[in-house]
Amino acid sequence: MAKQMSSTAPPNARWFKRRALLGTLICLSFWLSCASAPTRPDGLREHFITGKDIRYPQDQYITGVGQGSDVRQARLTAFADIGAQMQTRIEGTLVSREQMMTGPAGSTTVSQVTNEVRQHTTFDHRGLASVADTQIVGGSVHVFAVLDRAALAEPFVREVERTRVLLRRALEDLALAETKLDLRGAGRLAKEIRARARELASALVMMESVTASPNEGNEWVDVAKAAQVDADLRRIRSKASIEICLNPAPDFPEASQLVQAIMDHVASLGVTALPCGQAGARPSFRAEGRISAVFSTEAMLGGAVFCRPSVALRMLDLTSGAEILSASLGGDPARAAGRDREAATRSALKKLSTLCAPRLSEALGDVP
C-alpha cells in the first residue's frame, strides 16, 4: 500500500509543473517576438528603421521602408526606396561588367552597348513589391515593403534565353551573308544584331542585379561578339566593289561632278568604287543610269540661272543579276539658282548628290 502511494505524485506537484511549463512557453514566445521585431522606446519596431528583418533574408528579398501621413504615401515611399536600391544595383552591375569584359571586343565596343542599356534601363516596381508590415506611431504611418528576388528574376531569365537564341541566329545569318556578299542583307542583320545585343545585355543586367550574382553562361560573350558588328560590316563591305556607269546627257558635261560625288560616297561606306569599264575589274555591283538637266533664266530675278538636274539610277547585283535599286531622283527637289550656269549647276548637283546618298547607302547595306 505504501509503495502504491509513493508512485503517485501529489496533485499540488502536478499543478506546479504545469505552471512552470506555461511560464516557459510565455517567455519563449515573448523572446521570439522580440527577436523578429524588436522595438524602440517610442514603440516603433526596429525593422522600420534598419530596413532589415530576419523574416525576409537579404539574399531572398529586397526590402524598403517608408513613412508618410497616410498608408498610401508611406507605401509609395517604401516602394521608391526599393526602386532606388535597384537602380544602384543596376549601375553597379553595368560598371562591373564593363570592367570584366576584355579581349577582342575591347572595352570600347562593349561599353557602347552597356551605355545604351544604362540610358534605357529603369526599374519599375509596380505590381512587384508588396507591403509586409505597417505601424502607426505618433500620427505617422510606417511601411515595411518587400520584393521577392526569385519572382522578380524569373521573367528576366526567360528573356535572356529568348534573346540569346535570336541573337545567335542573327550572328549566324550575318556570317552567311558575308559568304554571299549580300550587303543589303548584312546591313539589315547588323541592325537586328545591335537591337538584340541591347535587349540581351539589358535582361542580363536586370537578372544579375536582382539575384546579386553574375551570370555564369556565355551570354555576355555573345554581347561582346555583337558589339563588333560594325567592324564586321566594314569587313564585309571591303570585299565588295561597284562599277559607276552614269552617263551624262550630251548637253550636260558638268554631270561628271555628280559621278565623282557618288564615287566618294560609295568609298565612304567602305566599298571600292570603280570607274565604268576599268580593264581587268571584276565588280560585285554596277550603278548605271543617265544624268540630265533643264536650265532656265529668270529675267525678273536679275537674269538668275536655274538648274533642274535629275538622274535615273539603277543598281545591279552582278553575282545574282538582281536589281537592288531603281529610282528617279532630282527634279524640283534638286533645283537651284546661281548668277550663271556654273554656279547654278554646282548648287543643283550638290542637292542631287544629297538625294542619291541615302538610296545608295540603303542598297549597299548601310542601315542606321
283-309 pLDDT per residue, tens: 999 999 999 999 999 866 778 999 999
CATH of domain 47-148: 3.10.28.20
Give me the pLDDT at residue 171, please: 96
Q: pLDDT tens for residues 206-222?
A: 888 888 777 766 788 88
User: Sorting pLDDT into bands at 50, 70 and 90, what band is 227?
Assistant: confident
Q: Which residues contact 219 (CB under 8 A, 6 or more apart)?
A: 160, 164, 200, 204
- Say if residue 8's pLDDT is above 60: no
d(CA 13, CA 174) in angstroms, rounded, equals 88
**Within a 10 A sphere around the Cβ of 259, how many other Cβ atoms?**
22
- Say if residue 162's pLDDT is above 60: yes
The DSSP 8-state label assigned to residue 249 in this structure reads P
> Residue 275: which of 249, 250, 251, 247 has the closest Cα?
247
Q: Where in the chain is the domain with CATH 3.10.28.20?
A: 47-148
Q: What sign for the dihedral angle of Cα 52, 58, 61, 63?
A: positive
- Of residues 10 and 118, the one with the higher pLDDT is 118
Domain 240-363 fold: Rossmann fold (3.40.50)
The DSSP 8-state label assigned to residue 227 in this structure reads T
Mean local confidence (pLDDT), 41-51: 86
User: Sorting pLDDT into bands at 50, 70 and 90, what band is 30?
Assistant: very low
Let me know: does 186 contact 176? Beta carbons within 8 Å: no
Please give the mean pLDDT across all residues of the chain.
84
- Say if residue 245's pLDDT is above 70: yes
Let me know: does 79 contact 64? Beta carbons within 8 Å: yes
Q: What percent of the chain has pLDDT over 70?
A: 83
- Say if residue 103's pLDDT is above 80: no
Q: Where in the chain is the domain with CATH 3.40.50.10610?
A: 240-363
What is each CA distance from 257 to 127, 133, 307, 361, in whole angstroms?
62, 76, 14, 19
